[in-house]
Chains A and B, each alone.
Chain A
Amino acid sequence: MAPTALRVVEAHARVYRRTWRGSVISSFAVPLLTLVAMGTGLGRLVNDSGGVAGGTFIEFLAPGLLAATAMTTAAGEASYPVVAGIRWSKSFHAALATPVSVADLIYGLFGWLGIRLVFNLVIYAAIMAAVGAATWGAAMMAVAPAVLTGLAFAAPITAWVSTLESDTSLSSLFRFGIMPLFLFSGTFFPIEQLPDYLEPVAFLSPLFHGVELTRAAAGVAGSPFLLWWIHAGVLLALFIGGTIAAVRNLGEAMRK
């Protein structure tokens, strides 16, 4: 990373110091409440009928939620702040009047997001271990694939958001993109439970690959669904391809 990209990371960190309070609810409270409600409430019901993948429901759910949380955090950070930088506060325009380049803005954004994901997910994984959903070692192992999942979402989303002429379609990203993926990517139940005709659709979901990889790292039996390097390959390809497209698209948006 160029030193100017590191300066962009630094700027994000400085802004975050002022604004972190607003993100606490979505970063921690929502996944935690989901884990408690589903893991204990629904979990008892599931465990009574034999559990999932040879373990308890919370052992199955927790790493899946780790990956899904990475996805939602990343989607948030890769969309609204990018529109703000281009259109609302125009902070990208301000930065580009300095030696900072468009590529620096993108690498800096993803670099900062990576740091935030590691920070958030380590806390989440610690809670996972504390409530007995995984061993400490397995929980920490699961952080890396979850971070990769987040980045695999962030890059294509930033690339797409950079092409938007207005911000009206932004909310549909969450309503019609993130929300269905959250529900149908094997986070809450194995995709074999889906009707046969829906099962191949899950393969197209990037979150499915993230969930499987994260679950495998946490040592859940039956994961990964495919070979681990296929899942990792899909995520890496999304991240790298998305990053290239994001630099190109943002460059075009900023030249207007």
Chain B
Amino acid sequence: MTDSLVEARDLTKHFGAMVAVDGVSFEIEKGEAFGFLGPNGAGKTSTMRMIASVSPVTSGHLRVFGLDPETYGPAIRARLGVVPQENNLDTELTVEENLLIYGRYFDLPRSEIRRRITELLAFAQLSDRGKSKVEPLSGGMKRRLTIARGLINRPEVLILDEPTTGLDPQARHLLWDRLYRLKQEGVTLIITTHYMDEAEQLCDRLVIMDKGKIVGEGSPRGLIEKHSTREVVELRFPPGTQERALEKMGDLGKRLEILPDRVLIYSDDADETLSEVHRRGLETETTLVRRSTLEDVFLHLTGRSLVE
């Protein structure tokens, strides 16, 4: 028995004729931040719901804390924290009441919940909002409250489904900062996201999902090294000239990726590649040299971009 908190083999989920998760295998270790990266509809949420023991497995093997969710659902859920995609808070209640009701679902004594509420509101930077209703809170505050709610039972694993979707950049960074702190405290994080920057920022290890399957696995850096070059040159051509320009570019870099509005050249020395583009007299509208990201890995593995 290893340190695996979650162990999945050939895990499959069908909804009627629709195959949401198509035979995925992975292991999540204690203390790591593990990510599921992929576009909407890739099967990330369905996988999460099976791990969270709220959605039955269609076929395959799944163990959470070494237990079968089919039989030990409540026992598993008692040790998990879940932050769903939508903040399903009770907006008619106050911030504190939301936490109190949730804590009671875990059968915690009221006095203990009150203590934890003080701690959690400080952690979520909502200490001065305890008595206010949920409805008027900002998106970032509601998100942090949902995370605080997911922590009321001091879970060993916190599951976050698209934690920063719909938040402005400042709110995102604040949230990432909170998640770092949790990780430092030893909480295992399982995160789904379709943002490659979020996956790079937060995850020690991740799997890339597409159409219900895992198409890549590793650390963010490892995946980039394995599936992409160090650098990328992005070229935009004046409208209507991209086709013609491509004829002169076939041998540039290690690989070309042709998108409707731009061309990406994968190269280990982007500056040199860009000079070569100019030497060949290609007329570009804008050029950009950047490091490879997980977006490039996804593009390479699936032929499509993550956010469409």
Residues of A within 8 A of B (CB): 3-4, 7-8, 10-11, 14-15, 18-19, 89-91, 93-101, 254-256
Contact with A along B49-63 (1 / 0, CB 8 A): 000101110000000
A98 pairs with B100, CB closer than 8 A: no
| B88 partner, pick from A7, A18, A89, A254, beta carbons under 8 A | A89
B15 pairs with A101, CB closer than 8 A: no
B78 pairs with A99, CB closer than 8 A: yes
19 pairs across A/B with beta carbons < 8 Å? A4-B74, A7-B107, A10-B104, A11-B101, A15-B90, A15-B92, A18-B93, A90-B84, A91-B88, A93-B54, A94-B149, A96-B54, A99-B75, A99-B106, A100-B74, A101-B73, A254-B54, A255-B54, A256-B15
Q: Which of B63-112 contact A (CB under 8 A)?
A: 73-75, 77-78, 80, 82, 84, 86, 88-93, 97, 100-102, 104-107
| B91 partner, pick from A89, A93, A97, A100, beta carbons under 8 A | A89
A97 pairs with B92, CB closer than 8 A: no
A97 pairs with B107, CB closer than 8 A: no
B92 pairs with A19, CB closer than 8 A: yes
B84 pairs with A93, CB closer than 8 A: yes
Residues of B within 8 A of A (CB): 15, 52, 54-56, 73-75, 77-78, 80, 82, 84, 86, 88-93, 97, 100-102, 104-107, 149-150, 153
A14 pairs with B88, CB closer than 8 A: no
Cβ–Cβ < 8 Å partners of B90 in chain A: 15, 89, 91
Shortest beta-carbon distance from B137 to chain A in Å: 15
Q: Tell me the bound Cα distance from A248 to B176 in angstroms.
A: 40
B105 pairs with A7, CB closer than 8 A: yes
Cβ–Cβ < 8 Å partners of B102 in chain A: 94, 98
Name B104's closest neighbour in chain A (CB-CB): A7
A94 pairs with B153, CB closer than 8 A: no
Interface core residue of B90, B101, B106, B153 (most chain A CB under 10 Å): B101
**With A91-B88, A97-B54 given, can you name 4 additional A-B contacts, CB distance below 8 Å?**
A14-B100, A18-B93, A91-B90, A94-B84
Cβ–Cβ < 8 Å partners of A4 in chain B: 74, 105, 107
Cβ–Cβ < 8 Å partners of B55 in chain A: 255
Q: Tell me the bound Cα distance from A19 to B82 in angstroms.
A: 27
A101 pairs with B74, CB closer than 8 A: yes
Shortest beta-carbon distance from A114 to chain B in Å: 19
